[in-house]
Homo-oligomer: A and B are copies of this chain.
């Protein structure tokens, strides 16, 4: 992250990433460098804002005339959907946003690109969800977005595993009727072409594996949303068994171009 970029000046267009905590986010460096590489005179900076302060902060910030876009991370993705005058179809369906840009009247248009980011990471690693059977572990914000993107990319079947059965069942219902066979699943990865962890399991030393990894076959593609550590225990087991993998960092990198495209209205 020591790469340099041109210093800002008075004409720099401003983009902010909102979150709490904020120090761990990678968008300021990644997106600022992406802007510079595209010759766009803009920069992405972090804004540390607590949930209780979000509404007033966004109301005030939105009045700035050189603030062209926002990236949203935990815990603001659902609340920020309420600050959008318009939403992409997927953001409306999921009820959450991670990206906002201005409409011509200055109001905010929101989108949710987390699923698309995972899809791009899987494809970049040679995977393809079309016609495949996938096991998704975790039906929270990230899992919901990933499940939607995979189903809409032509998955044959999606099994969702989550210890919170109520939100698992809500996501099963939400993703049904879109072309894939969607149902509740368990921790056993046998019989799936694609296994995705969208839970925090693997962030802390000693976390249990999110699936029963001894069932992983060498051809199964294994992906994880966790960025730190980059190689989670799940991915280490998968790689040892010869599985192709995509990491949370791969997902972030794949998403960077999508984020820059959206924020710049491309």
Chain A positions near chain B (C-beta within 8 angstroms): 1-12, 14, 17, 20, 22-29, 32-33, 43-50, 53, 56-61, 63-67
Chain B positions within 8 Å of A47 at CB level:
14, 64, 66-67
What is the CA–CA distance of A140 and B176 in the complex, to the nearest angstrom? 68
| Contact assessment for A46 and B60 in the assembled complex, using a CB-CB cutoff below 8 Å | no
Who on chain B is nearest to A54 by CB?
Answer: B63
Cα(A67)–Cα(B43), bound, Å? 16
Residue of B nearest to A61 (CB): B60
Q: Shortest Cβ distance from A151 into chain B, in angstroms?
A: 31
Using Cβ atoms and an 8 Å threshold, which residues of chain B touch A46?
A: 8-12, 14, 66
Contact of A60 among B7, B17, B56 (CB under 8 A): B56
Are the CB atoms of B59 and A64 closer together than 8 Å? no
**B-side contacts of A5, CB under 8 Å:** 4-7
Task: Give bound CA distance, A54 to B155, whole Å.
Answer: 50
Distance A48 CA – B42 CA, assembled complex (angstroms): 13
26 contacts between A and B (CB under 8 A): A1-B7, A3-B6, A3-B7, A4-B5, A4-B6, A4-B7, A7-B32, A8-B46, A10-B17, A10-B23, A10-B25, A10-B27, A11-B22, A11-B23, A11-B46, A14-B45, A20-B65, A22-B66, A46-B66, A47-B64, A47-B66, A48-B66, A50-B63, A57-B60, A57-B61, A57-B63
Nearest-CB distance from A27 to chain B (Å)?
A: 8
CB neighbours of A28 from chain B (8 A): 7-10, 12
Q: Which residues of B contact A29 (CB under 8 A)?
A: 7-9
How far, in whole Å, are A63 and B6 apart by their CA atoms in the complex?
Answer: 28
Determine the distance from Cα of A15 to Cα of B4 in the docked complex, in whole angstroms.
19
Whole-angstrom distance between the Cβ of A72 and the nearest chain B Cβ: 14
Q: Judging by beta carbons under 8 Å apart, are B50 and A57 in contact?
A: no
- Name the residue among A4, A25, A46, A50 with the largest chain B CB count within 10 angstroms: A46
- Residues of chain B lying within 8 A (CB to CB) of residue A3: 6-7
* A32 in complex: contacting residue of B8, B60, B61, CB < 8 Å: B8
A7-B32, A10-B24 given; 19 more Cβ-contact pairs under 8 Å: A1-B6, A1-B7, A2-B6, A3-B6, A4-B4, A7-B28, A10-B17, A10-B46, A11-B46, A12-B28, A12-B46, A14-B45, A22-B66, A43-B45, A48-B65, A49-B65, A56-B60, A57-B60, A57-B63
A33 with B12: CB separation less than 8 A: no
Residues of B within 8 A of A53 (CB): 63-64
Nearest CB in chain B: distance from A54 CB, A: 8
